[in-house]
Amino acid sequence: MSDTPGRIDAKELKRLVGDGTIDTVLVVFPDMYGRLVGKRIVGRFFIEEVLEGGMHACDYLLACDIDMDPVPGYQFTSWAKGYGDFRPVPDLSTLRVASWLEKTALVLCDVYEEESDALVPYAPRGILRKQIARAAERGYVAMGASELELYVFQDSYDDIARKSFVNLQPIGRLIEDYHIFQGTKEEYLIGAIRRHLEKSGVPVESSKGEWGPGQQEIGLRYADLLEMSDRHAIYKHAAKEIAWQHNRAVTFMAKWDERYAGSSCHIHASLWSPDGKPLFAGDDHLGPIHCSPLFRWFLGGWMAHIRELFPFFAPYPSSYKRYVPGSFAPTGVAWSYDNRTAGFRIVGHGSSLRIECRTAGADANPYLAFAATLAAGLDGIENKIEPPPAFEGDVYGALELPQVPHSLPEAIAALDGSAFARQALGEDVVAHYLHFFRTEQRKFDAVVTDWERKRYFEQA
């Protein structure tokens, strides 16, 4: 058994199923959106049939859109190929109690080909595993954290749907950044999420009000990148289900309303040795910090490749409405020490020295964002890419700096033209996700929005 509350092993699961404490196992894996998809398996059947051999699921789950519409044009699978099965196999190190659900456990899977022991190359968890393996071959353990923000609403999900997703009512009415009293009004829900995560093997550090009315951040404890991504995905899933149980709604849209602050997913990253020694600390001088060459080169690679990997941090058309000057979301590609206007904010010192990239929104798939992060950092190390000089001052006003992409089409074009992305992630993987991102943009472009009707219906 694990020392982390809520984490269990196969032996403990068998005991809990045997005494009736657990009767259902959520057997899940992250799809291209980062959502958990899978099956509810009866506990007894999971132990007898699924625990070791896995289960079957339709491969269209890695070739459909967010509405589960099978999307033509993927080479991986299609109507012509019959939409067959692949084989999600439980990673038993992720087995845990899902305390917010009655008599339920949860386990995350790696997705394998139906007739072989090869990982499906397009599955987000497998994409991250590939980069983690590359780091391990070089003697590095990649650690990280994702600061994930969300908005809470007075409305339920059904209420919001009946209102056609307009005139929504956030649960707060004031900017509540660090404000304890405003946070108390939301604690019945945010506290429930924190407590259930803690009971379900997802260690939590804190929660706090953010800059928007009804906006909160729940901070999870850092871990290796695969474990961190699993925690992130479970947090998002659990938060939505717990909100639903309280007749409320939450959203992880990066920008749900142009009037309010966006929701971010600040990514922290560092490299460690297999025996637990932090590798970013050192005696080199880089602007105001002391660091190792590995730190310099990792930062240099991440910065050099951020624009061409941008769709993995901002995957949807609405994601790009978050990058507004003076909003605490980055607009310029620069690094600085403890400067929240910089896209790359360096924090900590000595053993806690790490890079905080403020680019990703709360809508990012954590597995893909961390995979892109690690791929870029490793390339920086391999090619000894030096970062530019540290920036001092307000990055928002420094228009001479490289700017983040202003739209998903701009980001798609950068990814499409990236030889590095194809080399690091794989030609087929990049082609698969280019089609994914283009599908999101194509479906957005086909819709007449409420804004357009309001502006042009009478006056055009």
Closest C-alpha to 36, from 446, 365, 390, 405: 365
Q: Residue 459 and residue 191: Cα distance in Å, rounded?
A: 48
DSSP output for 227-277:
HHHHHHHHHHHHHHHHHHHTT-EEE--S-S-TTS---BEEEEEEEE-TTS-
344-347 vs 335-337, strand pairing mode: parallel
316, two tokens? 């949807």
Instruction: Give residue 287's pLDDT.
Output: 86
Closest C-alpha to 214, from 246, 238, 248: 248
pTM listed for this prediction: 0.97
Residue in this structure with the two tokens 């009971």, named with its chain if needed = 199
Q: Residue 45 and residue 37: Cα distance in Å, rounded?
A: 19
H-helix or E-strand spanning residue 454: helix 450-456
224, β-bridge pairs: 143
Residue in this structure with the two tokens 């997703």, named with its chain if needed = 165
Instruction: Return phi, psi of residue 145, to 5°.
Output: -150, 155
What letter represents residue 282's amino acid?
G
DSSP class of residue 170? B
Spell out the per-residue pLDDT of the chain, length 460, in tens.
Answer: 568 899 999 999 999 999 999 999 999 999 999 999 999 999 999 999 999 999 999 999 999 999 999 999 999 999 999 999 999 999 999 999 999 999 999 999 999 999 899 999 999 999 999 999 999 999 999 999 999 999 999 999 999 999 999 999 999 899 889 999 999 999 999 999 999 999 999 999 999 999 999 999 999 999 999 999 999 999 999 999 999 999 999 999 999 999 999 999 999 999 999 999 999 999 999 988 999 999 999 999 999 999 999 999 999 999 999 999 999 999 999 999 999 999 999 999 888 999 999 999 999 999 999 999 999 999 999 999 999 999 999 999 999 999 999 999 999 999 999 999 999 999 999 999 999 999 999 999 999 999 999 999 999 9
**Sign of torsion, CA 218 221 224 227?**
negative
- Residue pair 224/142 in contact (Cβ under 8 Å)? The answer is yes
pLDDT, one tens digit per residue, over 381-409 is 999 999 999 999 999 999 999 999 999 99
Closest C-alpha to 76, from 66, 88, 67, 64: 64
Q: Residue 164 and residue 196: Cα distance in Å, rounded?
A: 31
CA distances, 381 to each of 277, 302, 344, 346, 371 (Å) = 18, 10, 17, 18, 15
Q: Residue 126 and residue 13: Cα distance in Å, rounded?
A: 25
Instruction: Give residue 3's pLDDT.
Output: 80
357, β-bridge pairs: 267, 344
Q: Residue 330 and residue 403: Cα distance in Å, rounded?
A: 9
- Residue pair 220/204 in contact (Cβ under 8 Å)? The answer is yes
Q: Residue 241 and residue 259: Cα distance in Å, rounded?
A: 27
What letter represents residue 328's amino acid?
F
Q: Which CATH architecture has domain 133-427?
A: 2-Layer Sandwich (3.30)
Instruction: Give residue 133's pLDDT.
Output: 98
Instruction: Return phi, psi of residue 289, to 5°.
Output: -120, 160
Surface-to-core class of residue 172, CB atoms within 10 Å of its CB (0-12 exposed, 13-18 middle, 19+ buried): buried
81, two tokens? 């190929």
Three-class SS of residue 46? helix
Instruction: Give residue 2's pLDDT.
Output: 66
**Fold that domain 10-119 belongs to in CATH:** Ubiquitin-like (UB roll) (3.10.20)
Residue 114 has a CB neighbour count (10 Å cut-off) of 13
Residue in this structure with the two tokens 């190792």, named with its chain if needed = 292
Domain ranges (residues) in the chain: 10-119, 133-427
CA distances, 106 to each of 88, 218, 328, 332 (Å) = 14, 21, 35, 40
Instruction: Give residue 80's pLDDT.
Output: 95
Residues 6+ apart with CB under 8 A from 19: none
Closest C-alpha to 204, from 182, 219, 187: 219
224, two tokens? 């290796």
Instruction: Give residue 118's pLDDT.
Output: 94
Instruction: Give residue 1's pLDDT.
Output: 52
CA distances, 150 to each of 75, 135, 243, 438 (Å) = 35, 31, 12, 26
Residues 6+ apart with CB under 8 A from 59: 76, 77, 83, 84, 85, 86, 120
Residues 6+ apart with CB under 8 A from 348: 354
96, β-bridge pairs: 7, 106
